[in-house]
Homo-oligomer: A and B are copies of this chain.
Amino acid sequence: MAAKDTLKINMERLKAAFDVSSNIGATEKNGLTRLTLTAEDKKMRDIFVNWLKEEGLSVRIDDVGNIYGKREGRNKDAKSIMIGSHLDTQPRGGRFDGVLGVLSALEVIRTLNENHIETERPIEIVNFTNEEGERFTPPMIGSGVATGNYTKEFAYGLRDRDGIFFEEALNETGYKGQEENRRLNVEYFIELHIEQGPLLEKNKKEIGIVKGVKGMTRFEVTVTGHASHGAHPAYGRKDALVAASKMVLAIDEATQKYEDLSTTVGVFEVFPSIVNIFAGEVRFTFDVRHLDDDIRNTVIRTIQESLEQISEESGVDCSVKQTWNIDGTHFSAELIDVIQEESNKLNYTHQYMVSGAGHDAKFMNDICKTAMIFTPSANGFSHCEEEFTSYEDIQKATTLLLNVVLELADKV
């Protein structure tokens, strides 16, 4: 095997690939609208498949449109190393989310090819279908079906807002392949992704090593007071908005107690929301996210107690209903160690972190050793046109990905 030190990714080539991607579904403000299985997504997929073929990979499409490109290893029995992510975006999303993971994987393959590097293990690149879940909800359908978390029938039965079935969209774009193509034989999955948060930038770190994906528990809350005219004195009001505001702050302040804990109040609706009437009812949702399920459950209990106390003190009623729970995902300790060692060798500054969002890696973790590498996101923005990661950071992260792949490629 060639010494890793002598291998260099070709940043101009990677930039050129980004330039192609950034023009397919481009928005006016430097973003991308490339929803899954639309004309834009098909255009990107067609180009991507061509790139894979140009690299001599054996390309296959599975029955939910996931695209795989396999670079054979010396050892025909060895399980592969899979790298990649997704090429679809949110409406007016960014140019990096998902795309970085696929294009950096392509650059790794290209670098191996131009340097005629052979590996023991096969290396596979993947583009998963409908990671974003914006056109067809829920997200991560491609990796979900590939890992057995969702059935094909479930995926096919999903409809977009226009009533178009997922299966129709697959057929229309020509990306409905064979079921046997998703029988994966993978030892490691590594997904390079933008951080979608401000911590690397804040801490001036070049690399985030992701220990796992936060578990999430989601709730619906209804606060019922009694609406009345603004002429009502301050005394004796049962103002649902004042009580709900205290709850929002209690939910927000709970994040102070533990590192890597986040909470989000999302939906927030006030009734009647009329200029001279104070609120009789507020309905809102909140979620609590943490990698550690015990910590998350402790925080949830604290928040629930706070909400009860606030409603009692405010003289309002409050109902809290859990609507969703998914436990934390712990990535492979072996893989995390390898990433850290390679990052050290490259003298990249790095930190451990946890992902607040789901990723294809979350599902892949069910079937193989999995980890993620994060790059800094300017201002922490993501899922928006302002999403930005510098080419300097991309170069480092892709080099790290290459070196991790090389480190693992002969470990059989």
Contacts and interface: CB of A to CB of B under 8 A. Distances in A.
Interface of A: 196-199, 202, 214, 216, 218, 226-236, 239, 241-242, 244-246, 248-249, 252, 255-256, 260-270, 273-279, 285, 287, 289, 355-357, 379-384
Contact of A278 (B239, B242, B246, B264): B264
A278 to B, nearest CB: 5
A231 B268 contact: no
Contact of A197 (B197, B233, B381): B233
A228 B382 contact: yes
Given A267-B275, A278-B264, A278-B265, A241 B248 contact: yes
Contact of A248 (B214, B216, B245, B252): B245
A191 to B, nearest CB: 14
A246 to B, nearest CB: 7
Contacts of A261: 234
A267 B262 contact: no
A228 B278 contact: no
B249 A245 contact: yes
Contacts of A384: 227-228
Nearest to A272: B266
Nearest to A269: B273
A275 B138 CA distance: 13
Given A196-B229, A228-B384, 13 more contacts: A196-B232, A198-B235, A199-B235, A214-B231, A228-B383, A230-B266, A234-B262, A236-B380, A244-B245, A245-B246, A245-B252, A266-B275, A268-B279
Given A236-B202, A252-B242, A382 B266 contact: no
A233 B248 contact: no
B266 A276 contact: yes
Contacts of A244: 245
A218 B275 contact: yes
Contacts of A268: 241, 270, 273, 279
Contact of A249 (B229, B249, B278): B249
A356 B230 contact: yes
A209 to B, nearest CB: 15
A216 B275 CA distance: 12
Contacts of A236: 197-199, 202, 379-380
Given A266-B274, A268-B273, A242 B231 contact: no
A119 to B, nearest CB: 33
A60 B261 CA distance: 72
A106 B218 CA distance: 59
Contact of A266 (B260, B277, B289): B277
A311 to B, nearest CB: 15
A52 to B, nearest CB: 29
Most B C-beta atoms less than 10 A away, residue of A218, A227, A233, A275: A233
A269 B269 CA distance: 7
Contact of A234 (B242, B248, B255, B270): B255
27 contacts: A196-B228, A196-B229, A196-B232, A197-B233, A197-B235, A197-B236, A198-B232, A198-B233, A229-B356, A229-B357, A229-B383, A231-B289, A231-B357, A232-B262, A232-B380, A233-B260, A236-B380, A246-B249, A249-B249, A264-B276, A264-B277, A266-B274, A267-B273, A267-B274, A267-B275, A269-B270, A275-B285
